[in-house]
């Protein structure tokens, strides 16, 4: 299945259409991305660190925590998912092993960035980058480590905020020469910068897009269609779903808090998914099918009687 997903991702990148890749961070978000028809997903390292550890994205999440989180989510969906390997968790020798661990986890590629470790979220202040030659060696090691030649090494540079767009372009060319399949300039400040980068690098380019005025993104709002016109190969939306979930949970909790204080009971299908929606999304009907197929008739009778044969609690 891993190789098949890699082939799917390669086909998407070769289709001539931009690959729109929402950022996922848990089973709910990953399954929703697939259900709503998106062809690819990307694990958001910040979202995984924030939700799994309740810690900022400043390099606290370990390699094994990252890989294990990706493994469970990648296996739950049939669309290809890329992952965020931060700085590669060490030097080029470490990166060699990192690539193989993520490939074994079932993702189709990884981002490796050129920040100093411990890294920080790409849109935070105070970023530092390592020597471009060291970063290129990490890319060389990553390429050598690939077992499936289609596995995607997406070389991320955070140099725009440190060395300007020309510095980022220079680094990206070095990373492509080192074997990177795709390059990813984070926190680009304008559409013009993106176009200059795409035109200069002459390799598949991935852009991370912010969303909404309230999020105050470093990169301005540009539609996926416009990015495609510019020549961008892939666009990810790392913070959209975590932000939407936080807003939805906040509103639900505010309403619930008020109902506790006033004794009011609210029925808000506009705010809350039904239990059937949740169980259907997470694959409970498939478990019902397996039980019907493999459990003995007397066990089914004992568990469910002669009524509806399902372990899913309704209502």
Do 159 and 287 belong together in one domain?
A: no
Look over the chain and give the mean of its residue pLDDT values, rounded to a whole number: 92
169 and 306 together in one domain:
no
Is residue 315 predicted with pLDDT exceeding 50? no
Look at residue 215 and tell me whether its pLDDT is greater than 60. no
Assess whether 312 and 188 both reside in one domain: no
Cβ(121)–Cβ(57) below 8 Å: yes
**Domain-terminating residue out of 238, 263, 294:** 238
Q: Considering the domain boundaries, does residue 176 fall inside one? A: yes
- pLDDT for 266 equals 80
Q: Which residues contact 47 (CB under 8 A, 6 or more apart)?
A: 23, 24, 25, 238, 239, 241, 242
Is the Cβ–Cβ distance between 46 and 123 less than 8 Å? no
Alpha-carbon gap, residue 279 to 313, rounded angstroms: 9
- Based on the domain organization, do 199 and 308 belong to the same domain? no
Domain containing residue 114: CATH number = 3.20.20.60
pTM for this structure?
A: 0.91
CA distance 235 to 261: 44
Query: Which H or E run contains 297?
Result: helix 297-304
pLDDT for the residue numbered 1 = 44
pLDDT in tens, 62-84: 999 999 999 999 999 999 999 99
95 shares its domain with 195: yes
How many structural domains are present in the chain?
Answer: 2
The more confidently predicted of residues 59 and 222 is: 222
**Which residue among 178, 213, 238 closes a domain?**
238
Q: Is residue 113 domain-shared with residue 202, that is, in the same domain? A: yes
Which token pair is 235? Answer: 């666009």
Query: Which structural domain, as residue segments, surrounds residue 295?
Result: 273-315
DSSP string, 249-273: HHHHHHHHHHHHHHT-----TTTS-
Per-residue pLDDT reduced to its tens digit, 228-248: 999 999 999 999 999 999 999
Which of 238, 260, 289 is at the close of a domain?
238
């Amino acid at each position: 299945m891993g190789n098949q997903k890699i082939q799917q991702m390669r086909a998407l990148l070769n289709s001539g259409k931009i690959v729109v890749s929402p950022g996922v961070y848990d089973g709910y978000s990953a399954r929703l991305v697939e259900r709503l028809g998106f062809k690819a997903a990307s694990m958001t390292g910040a979202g995984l660190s924030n939700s799994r550890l309740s810690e900022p994205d400043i390099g606290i999440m370990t390699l094994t925590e990252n890989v294990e989180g990706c493994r469970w989510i990648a296996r739950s969906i049939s669309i290809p998912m890329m992952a965020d390997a931060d700085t590669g968790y060490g030097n080029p020798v470490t990166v060699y092993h990192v690539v193989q661990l993520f490939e074994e986890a079932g993702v189709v590629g990884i981002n490796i960035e050129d920040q100093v470790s411990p890294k920080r979220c790409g849109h935070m202040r105070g970023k530092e980058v390592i020597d471009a030659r060291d970063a290129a060696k990490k890319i060389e090691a990553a390429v050598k480590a690939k077992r499936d030649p289609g596995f995607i090494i997406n070389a991320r540079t955070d140099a725009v905020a440190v060395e300007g767009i020309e510095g980022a372009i220079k680094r990206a060319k070095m990373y492509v020469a080192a074997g990177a399949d795709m390059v990813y300039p984070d926190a680009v400040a304008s559409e013009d910068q993106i176009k200059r980068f795409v035109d200069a690098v002459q390799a598949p380019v991935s852009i991370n897009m912010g969303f909404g005025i309230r999020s105050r993104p470093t990169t301005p709002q540009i539609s996926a269609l416009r990015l495609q016109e510019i020549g961008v190969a892939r666009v990810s939306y790392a913070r959209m779903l975590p932000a939407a979930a936080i807003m939805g949970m906040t509103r639900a909790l505010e309403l619930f808090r008020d109902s506790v204080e006033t004794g009011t009971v609210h029925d808000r299908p506009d705010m809350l998914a039904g239990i059937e929606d949740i169980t259907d999304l997470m694959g409970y009907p498939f478990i019902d099918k397996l039980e019907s197929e493999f459990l003995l008739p007397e066990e089914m009778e004992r568990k469910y009687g002669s009524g509806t044969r399902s372990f899913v609690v309704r209502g």
